[in-house]
Chains A and B, each alone.
Chain A
Amino acid sequence: DQQVKQNSPSLSVQEGRISILNCDYTNSMFDYFLWYKKYPAEGPTFLISISSIKDKNEDGRFTVFLNKSAKHLSLHIVPSQPGDSAVYFCAAMDTGRRALTFGSGTRLQVQP
């Protein structure tokens, strides 16, 4: 039972354009959400997070949107850069338990 789903395994975007990565979850106990970037054979790197009391959080080129009623969140990267090419994982947390549940990841390729 996949509680966190990233339905797009890959995404290709032109440099300078917006990248939108989507994530859906099913567990209503999740109240904190995070996005991680990962390169092969390396640990994930934290990008941005959002609490369930907010619907938007922005940090530089990265913005995360949360739609609680739809149990959906998205990561927007604008403008996209070739260095953003990596696998992006959406993760959700039930802060009472403090362990993350990860989505399956979306491979982003930013074309120069």
Chain B
Amino acid sequence: GAVVSQHPSWVICKSGTSVKIECRSLDFQATTMFWYRQFPKQSLMLMATSNEGSKATYEQGVEKDKFLINHASLTLSTLTVTSAHPEDSSFYICSAIEDTRGEKLFFGSGTQLSVL
């Protein structure tokens, strides 16, 4: 199946710093990628839709200035958590649609962010 690589898998940072998470589609092109967040024992919540070459679409309640998304190429989307705070600690997962394979979403392995 298609592979989506997400890096890093685990990051610990100090409050106030910024963290960048990368999501790459390894064997296919993805014009659309999605970023999800999961808090412990809760469901995955869609944060934003990342579109190659255009601005991301954010879900209601997600601060676009805090969660910067860049989808500069057909195989790479990045999520930057700016000025991270402890309440941003969560599990972040990206996913991508391979445009010729129908509606299956392929997920990255996730990034566990812990903000001290």
Contact = CB atoms under 8 A, between A and B. Distances in A.
Given A41-B110, A43-B93, A43-B109, A98 B103 contact: yes
A85 B105 CA distance: 22
B44 interface: yes
A43 B43 contact: no
B112 A103 contact: no
A104 B43 contact: yes
Given A89-B43, A98-B32, A41 B103 contact: no
B42 interface: yes
A104 B38 CA distance: 10
Contacts, number: 54
B43 A46 contact: no
Nearest to A42: B109
Contacts of A101: 46
A18 interface: no
A79 interface: no
A99 B104 contact: no
B7 to A, nearest CB: 12
Interface string A89-106: 100010100111111110
A46 B109 contact: no
Given A43-B108, A49-B104, A104-B42, A98 B97 contact: yes
A44 interface: yes
Given A41-B112, A98-B32, A100-B34, A46 B97 contact: no
B34 A99 contact: yes
Contacts of B6: 43
Contact of B103 (A43, A95, A103, A104): A95
Contacts of A43: 4, 6, 93, 95, 107-110
Determine which residue in A32, A41, A101 has the highest number of CB atoms from chain B within 10 A of its CB, and name it.
A41
What are the 6 A-B residue pairs with the smallest beta carbon separation, nearest first? A43-B107, A104-B43, A102-B43, A102-B44, A43-B109, A43-B110
Given A98-B32, A98-B97, 17 more contacts: A34-B105, A36-B107, A41-B9, A43-B109, A44-B44, A44-B93, A46-B106, A49-B104, A93-B103, A98-B103, A100-B44, A100-B46, A100-B95, A100-B105, A101-B46, A103-B43, A105-B43
